[in-house]
A and B are shown apart, each in its own frame.
Chain A
Amino acid sequence: MQIIEAADGYDAVIIGSGAGGGMAAKILAESGLKVAIVEAGPMFDPKNNAHRTQLRWPYESPRRGANNVRPFGDFDSAYGGWEIEGEPYTHKSGTKFDWFRSRMVGGRTNHWGRISLRFGPKDFKRKDQDGLGDNWPISYEDVKPYYDQVDQLVGVFGTKEDFPNEPNGFFLPPPKPRLHELYFKQAANKANIPVIPSRMSMLTKRINTDRGVCFYCGQCSRACMVEADFSSGTCLIFPAQRAGGQITLFTDAMAREIATDADGRATGVHYIDKNTRQENFVGGKVVVLAASACSSARILLNSKSSTFPDGLGNGSGMIGRYLHDSTGASRMAFVPQLLDRKIYNEDGVGGMHVYTPWWLDNKQLDFPRGYHLEVWGGLGMPSYGFGFNVSEMNKFTGGVVGGYGNKLREDVRKFYGSFMGISGRGESVAQYDNYCEIDPQHVDEFGIPVLRFHYKWTDYERAQAKHMHETFESIFDAMGAKSVGTKPGPEDDYGLLAPGRIIHEVGTTRMGVNPKTSVVNAYQQMHEVDNVFVVDGGPFVSQADKNPTWTILALAWRTSEYIIDQINQQNI
């Protein structure tokens, strides 16, 4: 084994360079700490032409951007996916969980949807409202100052709506809705469903002299070469390095285990250099886990010692428990008003310009937690799959299905941009029995024991998905749109996607006051190991009907300040 730095080489070793790791690196380095980041993937910078997929054309890819190599298509910037060669995972009792990983600097922040929602006051105290799960040990008021800072540091567009449980923020002005979004709003309002401007982290205005302004190519999932959207590399790590922060990036470095001393305190991180296939060690006074909820749980569970025979800081047996992802279901419809539409550039920002936050009261419903609506459609750039079964759409208009020749050209032209989709993304109820653990039999190609998942949706999520589909149809009906396919029923869980598909997995190192029932305290510090912190989605007690990134960023900032404070007080 090669020792990269002596045991006290770094003030902090951060595992993972996504939202949480990037924020921790920036804040800790700005305070003068010497920081190492251990990242399992290669360097990635969207400004580097060799990495760049933005503004490329479908024909630049021999498979025309198809999604058989990268799960969201060739031009999506995530290096990784639900399946990674050489890095398997397993399942218990025939249950299903799909585990997405991005192996690259910036992690999943390079391709994410940039939907940047704060959790609201109710989201931190769900047990108080429905008796299910647990409350967070912190409240919205604890996090609000950090959300405010994140808004201004990173940039997020939106509008102050004073909408219940959807806090206002420091917003940039939103872009104007597209045509299908105007139809969506009109129909949703008719069905008594509110629609507001979306809240996403693209720069519609300049926020500093470093980063560019959005140029509306609609390709945020490809990562932005002018840094007009948020990703951890471009907005946190690289700027902190340029500002003189002492941040050393170890790339292609697969963390295996956190080392501890005789007192059970962390001393650094063992990792496998993927290129040399050698084990290395990087030492630090503090270890910050930001590897993503399941990867962090895996590293802790694999860090066994005489003090911690069941994994580092796992005296409670809670590590890996309460794993939960957002729920997801979708439906698509043909919109007759959009048939034969005029074609123009409506790329806009990557993703939706409008959305619907949760608008109902669960006390009146047969499921306990809410969901938000996302809308999609428009005149997108063709890629593999474009034109598939286009002539079948004639059944909606009474035209001839099938055929060949120039009739097909006509079909393509008139149906282009005439479809709209709605997706529901909801909160599930965290369950003790949904978990990841170490598979006792299998290792990955680096010799590291892999995760085994056990996950089952409950009737809460199924009832919620059923309601989502009723909502989709009510909006499509109000629009006069024709839903494609059949409405899913109980035999297929009402179209509920498998857990892990929404890539909002959280909860595996949950936060709490009681060390017997939680893994970290309100500052994301491990109850049992005071120099180990977790700043990814692992500490979430409950995932709201919101996307988790903004909360990961805010909490990572808060924890980083706490780490600095604790170091200054010589407590750690």
Chain B
Amino acid sequence: MDRRESLKSLFVGSLAGGLALKGCAPVDSEVESVAEPAAEEGYGRTEKEKIRDEKIKADSFFQEPELETLAVLCDIILPATADFGSAGDAEVPEFIEFIVKDMPAHQLPLRGGLMWLDNQSNSRFNLEFRSCSPEQQLEMVDDIAYPEEEPSDMAPGIAFFSLVRNLTLTGYYTSKMGIKELGYAGNTPGVWDGVPDEVLKAHGLSYDPQWLERCVDQSKRDELAAWDEDGNLLST
């Protein structure tokens, strides 16, 4: 078995378990095969890193009422649409619970911000935020969701909401659902063969022919490279 074959079987495990994935641009030659990762194998951690992750997961930071309030906020920030779920559906509150333990600098701003929100809410509605009606909640959020020219009494809430918004967006768009919604099309073996023609056209751009003729001819990518003694490649 040559090196390439042994590599292939190594990734694929058994050939039946492997995916011979097609490229992003169709080409004749085959793309390297890679294995479908098994869920339980982790994500390439060192022993020290594994211990760190496990410790954090075993710990907890937010109390139940805090998590409830956070969940309300996350779903106000990203509610469900006809096609995609809400932040809650993408388990954003769970992500935030992890990240504050992982990045303790977030703890005080979030805990303090949640309490500030309840304080405000108590003053206005005599209710904690999570117990308010949806209309009352939105009234409150409207006051802290936009930056101000001049700092007002709302400034702490604005800073807090901005942080929750950031973490919600990050949590959502790094989830399986969020990536699908975004339409990110990579992270898969493929063959890059340039900007699609219709995109070039839409941008009024074109490839310089002289530049292009020196680029890789993807139909020959599998052919062994060879050079003459001056370093000229014998095929592109």
A interface, CB within 8 angstroms of B: 42, 47, 49-53, 55-66, 68-69, 74-75, 77, 79, 85, 148, 151-152, 155, 157, 159-160, 168-179, 182-183, 186, 197, 204-213, 215-219, 225-228, 242, 337, 341-349, 379-392, 400-406, 408-409, 412-413, 416
Binary per-residue interface labels of chain B (197-235) against chain A in the complex, 1 for a CB within 8 Å, 0 otherwise: 011101101010001101111001111110100011100
Task: Confirm or deny: B115 has a beta carbon within 8 angstroms of a beta carbon on chain A.
Answer: no
> Could you tell me the distance between the alpha carbons of A50 and B42 in the complex, rounded to whole angstroms?
7
Segment 161-203 of B: residues with Cβ below 8 Å from A? 162, 165-166, 169-176, 178-179, 181-196, 198-200, 202-203
Q: Please give me the residue from chain A that is nearest to B213 by CB atom.
A: A173
Interchain CB contact under 8 A, A216 and B98: no
Interchain CB contact under 8 A, B176 and A57: yes
- Tell me which of B48, B145, B174, B217 contacts A382 (CB under 8 A): B174
Interchain CB contact under 8 A, A345 and B207: no
- Tell me which of A53, A179, A204, A387 contacts B44 (CB under 8 A): A53
Tell me whether A176 and B189 are in contact in the complex, defined as CB-CB below 8 angstroms, given that A346-B195, A406-B79 are known contacts. Answer: no
Interchain CB contact under 8 A, B222 and A169: no
- A169 proximity list for chain B (CB < 8 A): 231
> Could you tell me the distance between the alpha carbons of A432 and B32 in the complex, rounded to whole angstroms?
49
> Could you tell me the distance between the alpha carbons of A228 and B189 in the complex, rounded to whole angstroms?
12
Tell me whether A401 and B231 are in contact in the complex, defined as CB-CB below 8 angstroms, given that A175-B192, A179-B195 are known contacts. Answer: no
A interface, by DSSP: helix, strand, loop or mixed? loop
Instruction: Give min CB distance, B123 to chain A, whole Å.
Output: 22
- Tell me which of B3, B78, B186, B220 contacts A210 (CB under 8 A): B3
Q: Please give me the residue from chain A that is nearest to B138 by CB atom.
A: A404
12 interchain pairs (CB within 8 A)? A64-B174, A66-B103, A152-B227, A173-B216, A176-B195, A179-B199, A216-B24, A226-B11, A347-B187, A380-B184, A388-B166, A404-B76
Residue among A52, A148, A213, A416 with most chain B CB within 10 A: A213
A-B pairs, top 3 by smallest CB distance, nearest first, are A387-B169, A402-B146, A176-B194
- Tell me which of B32, B190, B200, B221 contacts A347 (CB under 8 A): B190
- Tell me which of A47, A51, A77 contacts B11 (CB under 8 A): A47
> Could you tell me the distance between the alpha carbons of A57 and B49 in the complex, rounded to whole angstroms?
18
Instruction: Give min CB distance, B110 to chain A, whole Å.
Output: 15
- B53 proximity list for chain A (CB < 8 A): 62
- A197 proximity list for chain B (CB < 8 A): 211, 214-215
- Tell me which of B11, B212, B231 contacts A168 (CB under 8 A): B231
B interface, CB within 8 angstroms of A: 2-4, 7, 10-11, 23-24, 31-32, 34-35, 37-38, 41-44, 46, 48-49, 52-53, 56-57, 76-79, 81, 95, 98-99, 102-103, 141, 145-147, 162, 165-166, 169-176, 178-179, 181-196, 198-200, 202-203, 205, 207, 211-212, 214-217, 220-225, 227, 231-233, 236
Interchain CB contact under 8 A, A382 and B184: yes
Interchain CB contact under 8 A, A148 and B176: no
- B196 proximity list for chain A (CB < 8 A): 342, 344
> Could you tell me the distance between the alpha carbons of A58 and B181 in the complex, rounded to whole angstroms?
15
- Tell me which of A216, A380, A404, A406 contacts B191 (CB under 8 A): A216
- B185 proximity list for chain A (CB < 8 A): 343-345, 379
- B103 proximity list for chain A (CB < 8 A): 63, 66, 68
Interchain CB contact under 8 A, A173 and B236: yes
Interchain CB contact under 8 A, B7 and A226: yes
Instruction: Give min CB distance, B79 to chain A, whole Å.
Output: 6
Interchain CB contact under 8 A, A79 and B77: no
Tell me whether A342 and B202 are in contact in the complex, defined as CB-CB below 8 angstroms, given that A384-B174, A408-B169 are known contacts. Answer: yes
> Could you tell me the distance between the alpha carbons of A216 and B193 in the complex, rounded to whole angstroms?
10
> Could you tell me the distance between the alpha carbons of A411 and B217 in the complex, rounded to whole angstroms?
37
> Could you tell me the distance between the alpha carbons of A172 and B221 in the complex, rounded to whole angstroms?
10
- B188 proximity list for chain A (CB < 8 A): 55, 217, 345
- A341 proximity list for chain B (CB < 8 A): 199
Instruction: Give min CB distance, A112 to chain B, whole Å.
Output: 17
> Could you tell me the distance between the alpha carbons of A52 and B10 in the complex, rounded to whole angstroms?
13
Interchain CB contact under 8 A, A178 and B44: no
Instruction: Give min CB distance, B142 to chain A, whole Å.
Output: 9
> Could you tell me the distance between the alpha carbons of A157 and B65 in the complex, rounded to whole angstroms?
57
> Could you tell me the distance between the alpha carbons of A439 and B52 in the complex, rounded to whole angstroms?
31
Interchain CB contact under 8 A, A155 and B42: no
Tell me whether A56 and B44 are in contact in the complex, defined as CB-CB below 8 angstroms, given that A172-B233, A346-B195 are known contacts. Answer: yes
Interchain CB contact under 8 A, B216 and A175: yes
Interchain CB contact under 8 A, B184 and A343: yes
Interchain CB contact under 8 A, A212 and B7: yes
Tell me whether A64 and B170 are in contact in the complex, defined as CB-CB below 8 angstroms, given that A206-B221, A226-B34 are known contacts. Answer: yes
- A389 proximity list for chain B (CB < 8 A): 162, 166
> Could you tell me the distance between the alpha carbons of A66 and B99 in the complex, rounded to whole angstroms?
9
- A157 proximity list for chain B (CB < 8 A): 216
- Tell me which of A64, A79, A213, A409 contacts B46 (CB under 8 A): A79
Instruction: Give min CB distance, B210 to chain A, whole Å.
Output: 10
> Could you tell me the distance between the alpha carbons of A413 and B77 in the complex, rounded to whole angstroms?
15
- B41 proximity list for chain A (CB < 8 A): 49-50
Interchain CB contact under 8 A, A379 and B184: yes
- A386 proximity list for chain B (CB < 8 A): 169-170, 173-174
Interchain CB contact under 8 A, A416 and B182: yes
Interchain CB contact under 8 A, B31 and A345: no
Instruction: Give min CB distance, B126 to chain A, whole Å.
Output: 24
- Tell me which of B169, B176, B198 contacts A390 (CB under 8 A): B169
> Could you tell me the distance between the alpha carbons of A175 and B212 in the complex, rounded to whole angstroms?
9
Instruction: Give min CB distance, B219 to chain A, whole Å.
Output: 11
Q: Please give me the residue from chain A that is nearest to B178 by CB atom.
A: A382
Interchain CB contact under 8 A, A226 and B216: no
- A406 proximity list for chain B (CB < 8 A): 79, 81
Tell me whether A408 and B224 are in contact in the complex, defined as CB-CB below 8 angstroms, given that A228-B32, A344-B196, A345-B188 are known contacts. Answer: no
- B217 proximity list for chain A (CB < 8 A): 173
- A392 proximity list for chain B (CB < 8 A): 147
> Could you tell me the distance between the alpha carbons of A381 and B174 in the complex, rounded to whole angstroms?
8
> Could you tell me the distance between the alpha carbons of A416 and B205 in the complex, rounded to whole angstroms?
20
> Could you tell me the distance between the alpha carbons of A391 and B36 in the complex, rounded to whole angstroms?
36
- A348 proximity list for chain B (CB < 8 A): 192
Interchain CB contact under 8 A, B181 and A409: yes
Instruction: Give min CB distance, B202 to chain A, whole Å.
Output: 7
Interchain CB contact under 8 A, B24 and A344: yes
> Could you tell me the distance between the alpha carbons of A285 and B202 in the complex, rounded to whole angstroms?
65
Instruction: Give min CB distance, B160 to chain A, whole Å.
Output: 13
Interchain CB contact under 8 A, B192 and A216: yes
- Tell me which of A58, A68, A175 contacts B174 (CB under 8 A): A58
Q: Please give me the residue from chain A that is nearest to B95 by CB atom.
A: A64
> Could you tell me the distance between the alpha carbons of A409 and B177 in the complex, rounded to whole angstroms?
13
- Tell me which of A204, A337, A408 contacts B221 (CB under 8 A): A204
Interchain CB contact under 8 A, A63 and B145: no
- Tell me which of A151, A217, A404 contacts B189 (CB under 8 A): A217
Kindly list 13 other residue pairs between chains A and B, CB separation below 8 angstroms, not including A55-B188, A59-B176, A382-B182: A172-B225, A176-B194, A205-B216, A205-B222, A215-B190, A216-B190, A216-B192, A217-B186, A345-B186, A345-B188, A348-B192, A386-B169, A404-B141
> Could you tell me the distance between the alpha carbons of A81 and B35 in the complex, rounded to whole angstroms?
29
Interchain CB contact under 8 A, A387 and B34: no
